[in-house]
Amino acid sequence: MIGSLHHTNLVKLLGYCFENHEKLLVYEFLPNRSLNKVLFDPMGRKQLVWKRRFMIIEGICRGLLYLHRDSGKNIIHRDLKPENILLDRDMTPKIADFDLAKTFDIENTHENTEFVGGTFGYMAPELSRHRRFSTKSDVYSYGVMVLEILTGEKISEFEGSSHSMSLVDYVWQHWNAEAALAVVDPYMSNEYQRDEVVKCIQVGLLCVQSDPMKRPSMQEVLVMLHNNRDSLPVPSNPGYLSQHRIFTF
């Protein structure tokens, strides 16, 4: 399935080996490693000027839209996080690691699973609570990553950095108090358009709403990223405290 997927924002599978009980997947070489290595490294994130951060936000969106709708296979990734976003020489994001991916019937709004796979913090509340997943589960994970890209903060470590709330709630409180720019990563200095950054914060908050029906689709997110902020819906209170420790199943 992975070998049949072709998109600028998906990692390219070149081949595989299954010999003497050794299983190997061979992917294209991506010199900038993962988003996790760059975004949360004090030296690495200096490279992430606003233009590059927006390119990464948009690129992940396009890759997800391809998986959800345009691949013809209707795929839910189920483990989106910065570790699974690889960066090429030009910092173009590539979604990787499809170990937990599932195909779905486009006629169904959601499915249930006995196996809760994913990473807490990025896992949608309906998945961790009710074992229910859908494309909106990926949208939630995407929203968390958008907030991480904008703040430079890692959701699993945020509470330990003198904060008593989750990163999602922290951003929500500032946005709701009309002080959204106070959460922006200081490594970006002031070299960004304020309206664009606030718009992306609003998009991130729309994606992490606790009710999956209120979250936009990835197609809607792509439109929002290029529309005027005034045309965006108003997000509701996330109402869900993300887990702060990370476990991968």
Three-class DSSP category at 156:
coil
* Pair 9, 62: CB distance under 8 Å: yes
Rounded-to-integer distance, Cα 173 and Cα 168, Å: 9
> Would strands 13-19 and 22-27 be described as parallel, antiparallel, or unpaired?
antiparallel
Closest CA to 201 of 137, 153, 160: 153
The DSSP line for 77-125 is ----SGGGEEE-TT--EEE---TT-EE--TT-S-EE-SS--SBTTTS-H
Provide the token pair at 136. 């909106």
* Pair 156, 244: CB distance under 8 Å: yes
The residue behind tokens 């570790």 is 83
Catalytic residue of the set 79, 97, 138, 185? 79
Residue 70 is among the residues annotated as catalytic for this protein: no
* Pair 70, 17: CB distance under 8 Å: no
Give me the residues paired with residue 111 across strands: 133
3-state SS, 185-236, equals CHHHCCCCCHHHHHHHHHHHHHHCCCCHHHCCCHHHHHHHHHCCHHHCCCCC
The catalytic site residues sit at 79
